[in-house]
Amino acid sequence: MNVRFRHRVEYAIVQAFRGMVRIAPRRVSLAVGSALGALFHRLHASRREVGADNLRATFPEMTEPERRKILNATFRQIGRHVIDFLNFDAMSREQMMPLIDMEGGEHVERARAEGRGVMYFAGHYGSWELQIIVHALHYSPITMIARKLDNPLLERLIEQIRTRVGTRVLPRQGATRGLLRSLREGESVGMMIDQHISDRSAIRIDFLGRPAATTTAIASFALRFDAPIIPVFALPKADGRYRMVYEPPIEPPDDDDPDPIRTCTRRCTERLEARIRAEPHLWLWMHRRWR
């Protein structure tokens, strides 16, 4: 299929579902999302194989049926996540916030009271797009780095949804200047730390038992501006609601640490890894994280 035509088809499908969530009850749309995830799991052999390989390497002690169950649940969760991202775009703040249980807000309040910029990090875990919206509405918008999608039509749509609540999105290439300005002005910055990084600034950190090329950006900026680093996760609940969890800030490296950037990056990675091991079906196993 011609790439440009495929992009238009993908965009039309997403817009159709965007229309559906505006008329269907949310529980129905979430069931549709789960079914779509299961269908994608069945049809997309290459992604299924990547996920199976990643789970096999991470959980060798599990049986094959146990790993298959996790992977199937992962695809279903991704389907629900995408649909609920569209659901939340159609909601007002008054409709949205009762669906969220906020936890750990004291860490955010304490960090903001210091008057400096705050850095937040997450991974492709739980409902990562929703936490951007919820944080902006409950606290204040953030400046975030995001990798552009291959489909420019979908990229434009997702950016519109993100920026509707005031979030400022910077492409990975050339993001440094924008992040520096945000932190100098005491604003909040957010980024994902679990994508493969191919540029020279990446370092290899143990992640889920294997070395993975990892961004040092969050550690570098936090140490430069003495900014607290707070992990944040939006975790789906069985009743269709969410826990928005802010964890205690990452402990800064000691003053005499010979490699503070590595230490800080490792501590961030360990927080995410602990979450993944606790609820593995919430992570994006079909991403080629180790290369």
pLDDT tens for each residue of 103-120: 999 999 999 998 888 999
Confidence of residue 177 (pLDDT cuts 50, 70, 90): confident
Confidence of residue 75 (pLDDT cuts 50, 70, 90): very high
Secondary structure (3-state) at 193: coil
Kindly report the backbone phi and psi dihedral angles of residue 157, in degrees, each rounded to the nearest multiple of 5, phi listed first: -65, -45
Picking from 281, 277, 289, the residue whose alpha carbon sits closest to that of residue 38 is 281
* pTM higher than the cut 0.85: yes
Picking from 122, 27, 42, 40, the residue whose alpha carbon sits closest to that of residue 78 is 40
pLDDT at 2: 64
Structure tokens at 65: 């049926």
Q: Is 283 exposed, middle or buried (0-12, 13-18, 19+ CB in 10 A)?
A: buried
Residue position matching structure tokens 């955010």: 108
Structure tokens at 21: 């969530």
